[in-house]
Amino acid sequence: MSRAGVLLDRDGTIIVDTGYVGSVDRVELLPGAVEAIAALNAADIPVVVVTNQSGVARGLYGVHDVQRVHAHIDEVLAAAGARVDMWLFCPYHPDGTVPEYARVSADRKPAPGMALAAAQALDLNLAASWVVGDSPVDVGLARAIGARPIFIGCATTDPQVRSVPDLAAAVQLILGPESDEPSLLDESAAMRFPAARYESADLFAQDYTAEIGRAMASVDLGEVERAAKTLNAAYDRDAAVFACGNGGSASIANHLMCDHVKGVRVGTDLHTRVTSLSSNMEILSAIANDIGYEAVFEFQLQSLARPGDVLVVVSSSGRSPNIVRALEWAAAHEMHTIALTGFEGGPARTLANVSVHVDCTNYGVVEDAHQACMHLLAQYVRQSRMSSSMVAAQVF
């Protein structure tokens, strides 16, 4: 059964951040950190450390130095009856001086690579998990994977991010023994799909198919109607439509462009202007490298979009910073917005003018439902521009 876990940053969360800690002699455990990790161990909650170590790419120390630091911390923890279940670090940085490590990596926070690896290795349910750290990239990681962030440091301006003074306070919040806050254990007890291991693919397929049906049944069809009207009205006035998403959602955004540029023209007089902001790797990587990944969609809209245009965002969690920023920019510049979301919907669900929400906590199922919603909207728009006899003569 998938379980909730806690993903911890290292420097500034577990040990004192003195800048590029690459040797054992520079390791200093923060007060209360050992006891906090031991408390998570006692609650049978997996503890994973996910840390960016660009010092490797910058030539300040090597991969083996990082591993020795982690082995030393393991020894200190073990002496107190505590443990880290998995250590993960990213040695890459695009500005590095060591050629082997001087590149962009999907493991570097806030990208989700390390978290996804931990989820696969330890069977974690990331949507029920927490990310604890002292940097905005830790908050970004939490949003990228649909987890709940806890920020160590001064209170943030984001009401959805909880702030605490240290790791001990974060663990107290997670376990919630003497707090009015809902505890991690209570929330992770909710049934999710899959809720247990399947021994045969046919049974898994049977239940997976049923979960897709349940997820699609949760969609508010009134919002689907509003989304269709928004798209048709945009095409009537020759407005542009932009789509964006991350990961699997990026493929849905790209597919939307295909179906709304090429597909809708078959048998109709439509000549739409639809662009996926997720499709151009050159511009995506340039913006991400020079400005930040959270700006990759907003920056493009600043150049391409005009008032009255439409933005369609696809985000399973609805929390991705680049999605939220794109919606906020669109709202401030008189664009119409449609969001396809899942899980709890995140900020995207409330920021968008139209919210096509899938009530489901399985990423694959949410994305399948989003793909279906994308297809049905494209096919509805296409057939709405035809006569009944023409519809009957076409293949959809």
Predicted structure pTM score: 0.55
11 noted as active-site residue: yes
**Among residues of the chain, what percentage have pLDDT more than 90?**
82
* Predicted confidence (pLDDT) per residue in 59-110, tens digit: 999 999 999 999 999 999 999 999 999 999 999 999 999 999 999 999 999 9
pLDDT higher than threshold 50 for residue 187: no
6-188 adopts what CATH topology? Rossmann fold (3.40.50)
- Which two structure tokens, joined as six digits, stand for 180? 């009015």
pLDDT at position 196:
65
Average confidence (pLDDT) over 326-341 = 98
Helix (H) or strand (E) holding 36: helix 33-42
Is the pLDDT confidence value at 182 over 50? no
* Alpha carbons 245 and 375: distance in angstroms, whole number: 16
Domain limits, the chain:
6-188, 217-393
- Statement: residue 191 has pLDDT above 50: no
Residue 30: pLDDT band with limits 50, 70, 90: very high
Q: Which residues contact 289 (CB under 8 A, 6 or more apart)?
A: 94, 104
Domain pair 6-188 / 217-393, same fold: yes
Residue 38 pLDDT: 97
Strand arrangement, sheet containing 86-90: 86-90, 47-52, 6-8, 130-133, 148-152, 162-164
Q: State yes or no: pLDDT of 306 exceeds 70.
A: yes
At 156 the pLDDT is 63
Identify the active-site residue in 11, 85, 138, 368: 11
| Cβ-contact 11, 21 below 8 angstroms | yes
Span 211-225, pLDDT tens digits: 898 889 889 999 999
Give the amino acid at 93: H
Question: Tell me, what's the pLDDT at 116?
Answer: 93
Which two tokens mark 382?
């296409």
Asked if residue 101 lies in contact with residue 91, where contact means CB atoms within 8 angstroms, the answer is: yes
H-helix or E-strand spanning residue 150: strand 148-152
From CA 36, how far away is CA 219, in angstroms rounded?
A: 41
Quote the pLDDT of residue 184. Answer: 45
Task: Please write the tens of the pLDDT for every residue from 234-273.
Answer: 999 999 999 999 999 999 999 999 999 999 999 999 999 9
Query: Whole-angstrom Cα distance, residue 244 to residue 347?
Result: 16
Q: What's the mean pLDDT in 280-287?
A: 96
Indicate if the pLDDT at residue 28 is higher than 70: yes
Burial class (CB in 10 A: 0-12, 13-18, 19+), 159: exposed
Instruction: List the 354-357 sheet strands across, edge first.
Output: 273-276, 240-245, 310-315, 336-341, 354-357
Phi, psi of 192 (to 5 degrees): -135, 165
Q: What was the pLDDT predicted at 147? A: 87
Pairing of strands 86-90, 47-52: parallel
Do 376 and 227 form a contact (C-beta atoms < 8 A)?
no
First to last CA, the chain: 40
The 10 Å Cβ neighbour count of residue 150 is 25
* Among the listed residues 191, 156, 132, 145, the one whose alpha carbon sits nearest the alpha carbon of residue 318: 145
- Per-residue DSSP letters for 176-224? -TTSSSPPHHHHHTS--SS-S--S-HHHHHHHHHHHHHHHHHTS-HHHH
147 close to 159: Cβ distance less than 8 angstroms: no
Average pLDDT over all residues of the chain: 92
Superfamily name and number for 217-393: Glucose-6-phosphate isomerase like protein; domain 1 (3.40.50.10490)
| pLDDT band (50, 70, 90) for residue 188 | very low
**Interatomic CA distance for residues 242 and 119, integer angstroms:** 32
- Residue pair 46/85 in contact by the 8 Å Cβ criterion: yes
Q: Which of 9, 85, 309, 368 is catalytic?
A: 9
180: pLDDT strictly greater than 50: no
Q: Decide if pLDDT at 117 tops 60.
A: yes
3-state helix/strand/coil string of 262-306: CHHHCCCCCCCEEEECCCCHHHHHHHHHHCCHHHHHHHHHHHHCC
Grade residue 181 by pLDDT with cuts at 50, 70 and 90: very low
d(CA 47, CA 174): 12
Helix pair angle (296-304, 321-332), 10° resolution = 30
- Is 158 an annotated catalytic residue? no
Confidence label for 189 from pLDDT (cuts 50, 70 and 90): very low
- Residue 145 has a pLDDT of 87
Q: What is the mean pLDDT of residues 186-201?
A: 61
